[in-house]
Amino acid sequence: MEVQSSFFMKTASAPSRKRATVMLVHGAWLDGSSWMEVIARLQSHGLRVVSIQISLASLGQDVATVIRALEREVNPVVLVGHSWGGTVITQAGASERVAALVYVAGFAPAPCESTLDTLSAYIPLGYSSLLQADSGGYLWFPQRAVPQWFAQDLPLPNAALLAATQRPIHPQALGNKVALAAWRDKPSWYLVTEDDRVIPPALQQSTARRISARTRSVASSHVPFLSRPKETCAIIFAAVSAIDAEAGEAPDPKD
């Protein structure tokens, strides 16, 4: 049967020859599939997309995972990090293959600073007492709390799916200090999530200013790639277009 859908015809197009690859790094209590709405939109514009699965065990392990993925890329990479993934791309982004950084409600520590250090003025967070450690020390969100704290703007069944599939983070990861900060040398973009209950919007705004990021805001929870995928893609497209323009490629059409 012949498929006439313009969407499927669009997604079938091959990536441009030299266009930037988008590499996505998830945060705590999530996995690489949480970017699914964003992946579909980016691919529909012919972009190569890679969504990394990180361990959430330590900064070193997660940076190494991203570096291995970067080594497989030929074209320049726009490296996108959400939440804890922001800390990871801060260090991994120093790779020569990375052309730009996009932080989505992400942490961006300075050298010799940890994720917890950047949070120090905001601790304790409202949900801190809810987190439950397993026998290995990994921290879990109670499933019942995920819709309220993590994804209050998603339909309840979608938020419940996030709760059921969550991947815990080890607290040692949050205490690991970055050795260097790629945002010092690479152009950066930052998406502030104004209704975030996990990472305070005030911290996000100050982070964006500190790293001199080109900043946009969206009225969303901690998971804008699910609740506001169009706005999340827009800031990624902005970074891709800037890198492609630098490389002499045609700009990407707006989503």
Instruction: Give first-to-last CA distance, the chain, whole Å.
Output: 29
**Is the pLDDT score of 80 beyond 70?**
yes
What are the structural domain ranges in the chain?
17-120+167-246
Write phi, then psi, for 244 (nearest 5 degrees): -65, -40
Is pLDDT larger for residue 253 or for residue 5?
253
Is pLDDT larger for residue 69 or for residue 18?
69
Q: 207 and 136 in contact (C-beta within 8 Å)?
A: no
SS3 of residue 248 by DSSP: coil
pLDDT digits (tens, 9 = 90+) for 30-47: 999 999 999 999 999 999
pLDDT of residue 249: 63
CATH architecture of 17-120+167-246: 3-Layer(aba) Sandwich (3.40)
pLDDT digits (tens, 9 = 90+) for 146-179: 999 999 999 999 999 999 999 999 999 999 999 9
Predicted TM-score (pTM) of this structure? 0.91
Residue 30 in tokens: 């999530």
**Is the pLDDT score of 188 beyond 90?**
yes
Interhelix angle 59-70/84-92, rounded to 10 degrees, is 60
SS3 of residue 16 by DSSP: coil
Q: 65 and 54 in contact (C-beta within 8 Å)?
A: yes
